């Protein structure tokens, strides 16, 4: 017998689907850029190995990288220093240790529905209770502020937010970031902000929650911004006091983040702007192609997207999203069922456009045929 906090964890619906994909399937389910990281960063990794950076490093990450991340964050807040930053093994581990660090037994954290799949389990594994707030297409997939206020109880400790959002592709505008920050301040709550799609913004700009609320814990990573999902390097940025606590938890979780990889990411940050400019231009084109193609599917309503690399259309057919995703998979296209992201994701599918223009077109043509045949 395993404890309920472990046995109740569900295997990710997205992964399950990928594993049953037929050979040669077109992957519009990808949660990662299909391109390789900057060559300068790959060279820096090889150099770091040759220079002997093959040993344990500090629990909070190497100083060069903490400083470089702090410099990157100073575009949002001028008072950020290395002491506000801990390097993690991606945002996944960052979110996990952040929940572990701030939540006591029975503390509540508000989590988005639909939302990225890790938040609820992270809260539960830390002994807390996830309480869902809704993101509805009719509200532009933005939180309903009255609902958020109504969900706050004396046990609420944090609001978990994700902008630009997976799976909705929506970037929170400044007013929303400010309003949520005001609510958090009034109720003395942390904002736990997953900003991994920070660099994928097609309209408006990315508003970091730390600009508006001091008790913000920013979780971020280089998985998407430097196309390095397999490198497993990210960070958490917050107050010096919380970083000190996080470092202890990280020591008992990971000992330290991988050393040579961190040296390479320092080089990656030097070329981030140039690299991202090229990626963003290509992804903008892919987004426009995908939206145009998807609008030709009569029963799909395609929301306006402003960031990340996902489309989250609503479909009219009375069929569960996991069954529809399976039918599409059997015809050779991988996408994710909306229900994998929470109960309010039902009736939606999630498509990623982190694939070639040609594959997006071919894939969505297949989807149109499957839907027409239902």
Give residues in contact with ligand PLP (CB under 6 A).
Answer: 31, 90-92, 116, 162, 166, 194, 196, 221, 223, 229, 234
Q: Output 91 or 266, the one with its CB closest to ligand PLP.
A: 91
Question: b/e map of 18-41 (b: 16 or more CB within 10 Å)?
Answer: beebeeebbbbbbbebbeebbeeb
Provide the minimum distance between the beta carbon of 186 and ligand PLP in the complex, in angstroms, as a whole number. Answer: 26
Q: Output 29 or 90, the one with its CB closest to ligand PLP.
A: 90
| H-assigned helices in 110-258 | 119-125, 145-151, 174-186, 222-225, 240-254
Cβ proximity of 310 and 200 under 8 Å: no
Provide the minimum distance between the beta carbon of 65 and ligand PLP in the complex, in angstroms, as a whole number. Answer: 15
Q: Output 90 or 347, the one with its CB closest to ligand PLP.
A: 90
Q: Output 210 or 371, the one with its CB closest to ligand PLP.
A: 210
Q: Output 70 or 196, the one with its CB closest to ligand PLP.
A: 196
Q: Output 229 or 301, the one with its CB closest to ligand PLP.
A: 229
Distance between CA atoms of residues 130 and 124, nearest Å: 7
Cβ proximity of 108 and 309 under 8 Å: no
Task: Please give the structure tokens belonging to residue 261.
Answer: 């990889």
Q: Output 200 or 212, the one with its CB closest to ligand PLP.
A: 200
Q: What is the longest distance spanned by two Cα atoms in the chain?
A: 60
Provide the minimum distance between the beta carbon of 193 and ligand PLP in the complex, in angstroms, as a whole number. Answer: 11
Provide the minimum distance between the beta carbon of 222 and ligand PLP in the complex, in angstroms, as a whole number. Answer: 7
Q: Output 227 or 291, the one with its CB closest to ligand PLP.
A: 227
Provide the minimum distance between the beta carbon of 195 and ligand PLP in the complex, in angstroms, as a whole number. Answer: 9
Task: Please give the structure tokens belonging to residue 231.
Answer: 């490198």
Provide the minimum distance between the beta carbon of 88 and ligand PLP in the complex, in angstroms, as a whole number. Answer: 8
Say if residue 358 is exposed, middle or buried (CB neighbours under 10 Å; 0-12, 13-18, 19+). exposed
The phi and psi torsions of 195 (rounded to 5 degrees) equal -115, 35
DSSP string, 257-287: --HHHHHHHHHHHHHHHHHHHHHHHHHHHHH
Say if residue 52 is exposed, middle or buried (CB neighbours under 10 Å; 0-12, 13-18, 19+). exposed
Provide the minimum distance between the beta carbon of 151 and ligand PLP in the complex, in angstroms, as a whole number. Answer: 21
Provide the minimum distance between the beta carbon of 194 and ligand PLP in the complex, in angstroms, as a whole number. Answer: 5
Distance between CA atoms of residues 121 and 112, nearest Å: 13
Task: Please give the structure tokens belonging to residue 156.
Answer: 């609420």
Cβ proximity of 168 and 141 under 8 Å: yes
């Amino acid at each position: 017998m395993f404890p309920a906090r472990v046995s109740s964890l569900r295997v990710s619906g997205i992964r399950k689907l990928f594993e049953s994909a037929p050979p040669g399937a077109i992957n519009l389910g990808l949660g990662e850029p299909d391109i390789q990281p900057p060559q300068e960063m790959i060279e820096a990794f090889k150099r770091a190995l040759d220079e002997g950076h093959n040993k344990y490093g500090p629990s909070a990450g190497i100083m060069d990288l903490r400083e470089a991340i702090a410099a990157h964050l100073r575009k949002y807040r001028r008072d950020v220093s290395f002491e506000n930053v801990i390097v993690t093994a991606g945002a996944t581990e960052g979110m996990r240790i952040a929940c572990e660090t701030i939540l006591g037994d029975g503390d509540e954290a508000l989590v988005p529905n639909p939302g990225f799949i890790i938040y609820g389990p992270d809260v539960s594994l830390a002994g807390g209770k996830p309480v869902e707030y809704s993101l509805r297409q009719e509200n532009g997939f933005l939180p309903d502020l009255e609902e958020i206020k109504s969900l706050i109880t004396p046990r609420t400790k944090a609001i978990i937010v994700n902008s630009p959002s997976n799976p909705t592709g929506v970037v929170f505008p400044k007013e929303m970031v400010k309003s949520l920050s005001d609510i958090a301040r009034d109720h003395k709550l942390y904002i736990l902000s997953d900003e991994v799609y920070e660099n994928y913004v097609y309209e408006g700009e990315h508003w970091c929650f730390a600009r508006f609320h001091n008790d913000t814990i920013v979780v971020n990573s280089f998985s998407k911004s430097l196309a390095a999902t397999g490198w497993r390097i990210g960070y958490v940025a917050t107050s010096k006091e919380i970083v000190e606590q996080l470092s202890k938890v990280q020591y008992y979780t990971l000992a330290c983040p991988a050393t040579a990889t961190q040296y390479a990411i320092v080089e990656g940050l030097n070329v981030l702007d140039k690299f991202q400019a090229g990626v963003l231009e290509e992804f903008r084109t892919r987004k426009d192609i995908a939206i145009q193609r998807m609008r030709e599917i009569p029963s799909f309503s395609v929301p306006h997207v402003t960031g990340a690399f996902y489309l989250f259309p609503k479909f009219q057919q009375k069929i569960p999203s996991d069954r529809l995703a399976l039918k599409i998979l059997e015809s050779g296209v991988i996408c994710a069922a909306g229900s994998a992201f929470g109960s309010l994701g039902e009736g939606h599918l999630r498509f990623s456009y982190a694939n070639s223009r040609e594959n997006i077109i071919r894939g969505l043509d297949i989807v149109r045929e499957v839907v027409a045949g239902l």
